[in-house]
Structure 1
Amino acid sequence: MKVRFIILISLFILPLFADAQKDITKECVPTFMFQATYAYQFPGADTKILYGNNSSVGASFMYKTDKNWFFAANGNFIFSDKIKASREDILGIILDDHGQLITGDGIFGSYAMLGRGYHIQAKAGKIINVLAPNPNCGFFISGGLGYLVNRVRIEFSSYASPPPNLSDDYVYGYDRMRGGFAYSGEIGYMYMSNSRVLNFSLSLEFTQAHTKSLREWDFNLMGPDNNRYTDRYVGLRLAIYIPTYKRTPSEYYYY
């Protein structure tokens, strides 16, 4: 009975992900697509006070209609080794008079401050079939709504243990973690080859989030951070697509 049930479910679900054979050179094809992306971003507004330029990598699940509208859900991981704010701004109250940090071993510690974050969103957009090899690609424009978080990650070298002030939950009082509602806009060009081998897009992306502190206590303020922030990112994004439609054979054989 269980085997029959699994077979019936598979017969229902699999057609959703594997479209019938289509000739994309002649018609606009509805299809599901998987996407991997990378972006190099420049911070703006309140973000640039704390962070430097960053990278963003992510994945997306997208559906394109036969009218060249598309809808997607994606998530991106934000990372950077550039922190613009000084160590005194972030760790001021636990540094000594020379700006040094004493580790849990009682020695001057070697540590790094890194930017980390994530951005999840739902998107919708339209493909404009101009300067394209087939009806399924061209220039596109899209918009998205979601949630964005960023923070400072403090890492110590392998030989040094964190000081008590930065151990366990205490580190949350220094990481400046904030998050909030985000919206984005994107304009670019999508290419889908007739052979299905090469599918990519290159775009200019704008993201803005209205954020607040997600920590109950900020040790530098000696209290909660009740400020509101505008976090902004502008960048270039490259995406690689894997469509699920089946292309028609290029040759036919007769017997």
Structure 2
Amino acid sequence: MGSFKGHALPGSFLFIMGVWWSTKSILKYVCKKQKRTCYLGSKALFRWIEILEGIILVLMALTGMLGEQFISGGPYLILYKEGQWNQLIRWHHCTMYFFFGLLGVANILCFTISSLPVSLPKLMFSNALFVETFIFQNHTHGREMLDVFVHQLLALISFLAGLLVFIEFFTRNNVLLELLRSSLILLQGSWFWQVGFVLYPPSGSPAWDLTDHDNIMFLTICFCWHYALAYIIIGVNYAFVTWFVKSRLRRLCSSEIGLLKNAEREHESEEEM
């Protein structure tokens, strides 16, 4: 993560997953509210979606860990070298990715093995976010004021998101909690990008003064703008998913019901013959 690309990668991962988690929560809620009988609202489809989501999370975590270890002179899995610790910052990042990978493994196992509790991924999700909070809170010793500030905001976001997921562990199918958590994941993803622009400006961009208090004042406002953007994205997403389920899927559900009725009629005619 000691580069712009290193912050853009986890930012992109979190932003994509934030959009997806909000979409999934809205889709479940709208399908349940509309009482759709088509395959889109079935438990079997959502089960396969959860397994696919787990595989994607594992792949994302492996990509981050391998990038930290083997790209741009990484530690190459050597923790202690020549009498001193070897690139502990990168090991911090790998640990964060590892716990999100465990979330993906929990998703895969819980929706493949029926004996495991379905709420286990929620517990692993909150653990991953709390570990991320702990890492970022102890990630910036001896750094400049602005560097510490932007990482403290990341720690705040991940702690609040972890707290919400932990509450979800006890209260199932609360769409407001799920969307609030998704908004914090979106905020975290976009803020990773902002941290990349602040600490490692792309080539040609002016460097930020890490000791200027006015920059902290601006980033405080900018943080709120990022959060407003997360809510706008979720609002647009909710409007689109609701429109899609109500209008576009009406034909699909009707056609499925028609096929079922035709099959029943054919079965009755065969019995009469």
TM-score scaled by length of structure 2: 0.21
TM-score scaled by length of structure 1: 0.22
Q: Larger % of helix: which?
A: 2
> Max radius of gyration: which structure?
1
Q: Larger % of strand: which?
A: 1
Structure number with greater CO (CA < 8 Å, separation at least 6) is 2
